[in-house]
Amino acid sequence: MSLPDESLLDQPITLSNCDREPIHIPGSIQPYGFMLCLDEVSHQVVYASENIQALLGFDPAELTGAEGLSRLLAPERVAELAKAFPTLTEAHLLLGVRLEPVAGQPFYKLIMHRYDGLLWLEFEPVAEQGPASLDLPFLNAALSQMLSAGSVVDFCQYAVEQVRGITGFDRVAIYRFAPDESGEIIAEACRPDLAPWLGLHYPASDIPQQARAMYLKNWLRFIPDASYVPARLVPLRPPRASRPPDMTYAVLRSVSPIHIQYLHNMGSAATMTISLIQDDKLWGMITCHHLTPRLVSYELRDLCQFIAKTFSALLTSKEKQDEQAYQLQVRERQARLFEHVSTTSNFVEGLYRKTPTLMDVFDCSGAAICFDEEIIILGTTPSQPQIEELLAWLQANVPQDIFYTDSYASLNPAGLALRGSASGFIAASLAEAPGSYLLWFRPEVVQTVTWAGQNEKPQHLEDGQIFLSPRQSFEAWKQFVENTSAPWKPLEIKAAQEIRLHISDVRLKVFNELHARAQALSRLNAELERSNDELDSFAYVASHDLKEPLRGIHNYSLFLLEDYAGQLDADGVSKLQTLVRLSQRMESLIEGLLQLSRVGRQDLTPSEVDLNELVAEVLDLLQPRLEQTHTSVEVEGPLPTIQADRVRLYEVFNNLLTNAIKYSDQPIKTVVVGQAPAGLAVPGVANSSAYHIFYVQDFGIGIDPRHHESIFKLFKRLHAQEKYGGGTGAGLAIVKKMVEKHGGRLWVDSALGQGATFYFALPKELATL
């Protein structure tokens, strides 16, 4: 970037030439020190700041000629400087000098450099005791902290805290430039009573182009008192050029009056700004502010500049560290998503039912899974009709497998309605599935940006000429950035592509597996049909051929007891009675087996079932037994009307109520029937709210928890045949089969001596089974 045109020196700063203000040749200095400029060949003083009169008590003109420096320095010091002059460059050389020929012999820091054909000698006053020693432990700790920073944000925060610790400024912040050259405060250390600047944005015009060029050449700019009156640089010999000397590298260089007014508007009485440079470009700045004038020693300023240069050297590695951390996060979440997709029977559910979901893989505000004319949305997205319109646009306009944009509205006017949730999106088409896409969305980037004052410099008229002045207000205001989202990073695009390819592989694998399964299933169906035919034959034989002779054995045993009991002794009668009892039990077992077989093989006949009516019918049938056993049944209702097979549901309640009556040793028995409260978990089910849950509760003998599973097995009894009314042990197995035929679950909650509660859950939507 070139320096300003010299023709601007005598022109007012206007709207047309503000960015060309000649800030490198102000012709004046800040008067907290004084300046001499020597011809680099003759070493004669050719310029001196006019404030020498006020600081040292003699006219600057007295410094002219070859012996000018002798008015300030002892001969041995002048000789020392003469040896140093040939070695000078644009880099500063610092010396401590006492002005022995001057009354009071003041002590100054002498800062020297060579530039623009001159040797620059800048004098800053210091205390008599001289500069403080370098705090090496602090510097070592500061560098260690910067090296160990785990992210760019932490890195910046450490830097501002270190600079504030060194200088004592009221506020130290890091200002980072955006691609459009606007800036944002991304780190801050300040007095707790000051309003924060963190997150504030500033327009690019706050730092004009020529100032940015200066910051690339001269890393540090210091203003200890923003209310200073500039001291002119007076030529002691006829100037060799038509312009003042170039003060680009001068420490005392006076700054633009526009910038001074800008600082006044901010309330800053002292400032220091240090460049942060990456790849020869201005990445940002460390900016320091104080509410009162503050003179920070050159050594401390140089230490801050060292920290800024170290920061600049480490910045690229810290940004790569952030990028690698994000890339690692994306890879890790992507791998977990692939696992969900590969291990879930329906790959679509693997994209959204477990964490991380499709939306969680990389930064976005929402996502949509569009497959087989179904749209599943995650996070903040457009509405379903809007997504359908977007899919139609993609089908008509986008042939690519992966498409992305950060400004959909610029491609399709319909995108204006989506900008709040989808100014930008990535679309990944699913191969061999026309109209099926994975979508990731981002809203307008920085829909509201907090700016530190209005984004234009106000103007005023003076003698008919328009002049610029700094922005007068630093009240936050809103700027709406329309129709554009944050850009998609290459690694995010790559991740979307890999997700698409993985799903394509999974779908191909599933297709091959389904084809193989279909062939196997066809064979199994044929075998099952043959097996069912054999089972039907067995059921017929069991119900007719087996039951008939068994009934004969039972009847003839009774005849023998009736006709020959008198001829037999007690042992013979007992054996015949045992034969009668065993034949009855055998018939009950065969009947239970047949009933269980019928439950498994027959289809459901669903209908609307009013459970209040159904339970009333069951209780009406059981009424004689309830009276006989002194049992009362309480129905906690009302019960709902549900979709179920009425006959099978009748058997479920009948069996559970019969068991509740049977397994109680209380003289007065109570059984409770009702619907379980909301929130009760159904074992083995992810979404319990999709089920109706009912219970039958008794206060009888209870069941040891170790038998909770075995009681549902066929012909399983926990007690001797003669206890608790006998039975085959088929009842609970039949109930379990009936409930599971509905797609439900049956379980028990019980302990010995504390009664038992049998729960069964039936799906609310029977048609989905």
- 245-296 pLDDT, tens per residue? 888 899 998 888 777 877 877 788 999 999 999 998 999 999 999 999 999 9
- Answer whether residue 80 shows pLDDT above 70: yes
| CATH number of the domain enclosing 435 | 3.30.450.270
Rounded average pLDDT over 560-567:
74
Shared-domain flag, residues 660 and 688: yes
Last residue in a domain, options 488, 518, 542 = 488
Rounded average pLDDT over 236-247:
75
Strands 183-190 and 201-202, by their bridges, are antiparallel
Phi, psi of 88 (to 5 degrees): -70, 145
Greatest alpha-carbon pair distance for the chain in Å reads 161
Of the candidates 481, 417, 734, 445, the residue with the CA atom closest to the CA atom of residue 598: 734
Strands 669-675 and 631-636, by their bridges, are parallel
- Answer whether residue 743 shows pLDDT above 80: yes
Last residue in a domain, options 602, 630, 652 = 602
> Of all residues in the chain, what percent carry a pLDDT higher than 70?
77
Distance of CA 153 to the CA centre of its chain: 16
Q: Can you give the pLDDT at residue 529?
A: 66
Return the SS3 of 199.
coil
Return the SS3 of 624.
helix
Choose the most confident range, by mean pLDDT, from 119-133, 232-246, 694-708.
694-708
Tell me whether residue 236 is in a domain: no
Q: Are 670 and 631 in contact (CB under 8 A)?
A: yes
Residue identified by tokens 């022109």 is: 11
- Answer whether residue 3 shows pLDDT above 50: no
Return the SS3 of 548.
helix
Choose the most confident range, by mean pLDDT, from 148-157, 185-194, 232-241, 707-716.
185-194
Q: Can you give the pLDDT at residue 95?
A: 84
Q: Can you give the pLDDT at residue 388?
A: 93
Q: Can you give the pLDDT at residue 13?
A: 45
Tell me whether residue 701 is in a domain: yes
Tell me whether residue 583 is in a domain: yes
Shared-domain flag, residues 499 and 589: yes
DSSP state letter for 646: H
pLDDT tens for each residue of 370-417: 988 899 999 999 999 999 999 999 999 999 999 999 999 999 999 999
Shared-domain flag, residues 640 and 734: yes
Shared-domain flag, residues 516 and 583: yes
The CA distance from 303 to 432, in Å, is 64
pLDDT tens for each residue of 615-636: 998 888 888 888 888 899 999 9
Shared-domain flag, residues 660 and 593: no
Q: Are 231 and 49 in contact (CB under 8 A)?
A: yes
Shared-domain flag, residues 527 and 650: no
Nearest 10 degrees: CA dihedral of 491, 497, 499, 505?
-140
Shared-domain flag, residues 637 and 590: no
Shared-domain flag, residues 596 and 611: no
Backbone conformation region of residue 116, classed left if phi is above 0, alpha if psi is from -120 to 50, else beta? left
pLDDT tens for each residue of 592-620: 455 545 544 566 778 899 999 999 988 88
Mean pLDDT score of the chain, rounded to an integer?
Answer: 80
Q: Can you give the pLDDT at residue 583?
A: 61
Tell me whether residue 358 is in a domain: yes
Shared-domain flag, residues 79 and 98: yes
Instruction: State which residues form the domain around 589.
Output: 495-602
Rounded average pLDDT over 7-32:
60
Q: Are 550 and 593 in contact (CB under 8 A)?
A: no
Tell me whether residue 269 is in a domain: no
Q: Can you give the pLDDT at residue 64?
A: 77
pLDDT: is 450 or 331 the higher one?
331
Shared-domain flag, residues 441 and 537: no
Residue identified by tokens 């064979």 is: 523
Choose the most confident range, by mean pLDDT, from 191-205, 333-347, 536-550.
333-347
Tokens at 515, concatenated: 């084809």
Q: Can you give the pLDDT at residue 112?
A: 92
Tell me whether residue 421 is in a domain: yes
Shared-domain flag, residues 510 and 628: no
The CA distance from 727 to 182, in Å, is 87
Distance between start and end Cα atoms, the chain: 74
Q: Are 408 and 418 in contact (CB under 8 A)?
A: yes
pTM exceeding the 0.85 threshold for the entire prediction? no
When pLDDT is cut at 50, 70 and 90, the band that residue 455 belongs to is low
pLDDT: is 447 or 744 the higher one?
744
Tell me whether residue 195 is in a domain: no
Last residue in a domain, options 435, 459, 488 = 488
| CATH number of the domain enclosing 692 | 3.30.565.10
Q: Can you give the pLDDT at residue 116?
A: 87
Q: Can you give the pLDDT at residue 128?
A: 43
Spatial strand order in the sheet of 28-29: 28-29, 231-235, 45-49, 34-39, 118-125, 107-115, 93-98
The total number of structural domains in the chain stands at 4
Q: Are 634 and 673 in contact (CB under 8 A)?
A: yes
pLDDT: is 182 or 649 the higher one?
649
Tell me whether residue 654 is in a domain: yes
Of the candidates 230, 282, 226, 210, the residue with the CA atom closest to the CA atom of residue 50: 230
Q: Can you give the pLDDT at residue 718?
A: 44
DSSP state letter for 685: -
pLDDT: is 739 or 476 the higher one?
739
Of the candidates 309, 304, 311, 310, the residue with the CA atom closest to the CA atom of residue 162: 304
Return the SS3 of 138.
helix
Count of positions (residues) in the chain: 769
Question: Residues of 405-426 as b/e, b for ≥16 C-beta within 10 angstroms?
Answer: bbbbbeeeeebeebbebbbbbb
pLDDT tens for each residue of 744-764: 888 988 888 788 899 999 998
Shared-domain flag, residues 742 and 667: yes
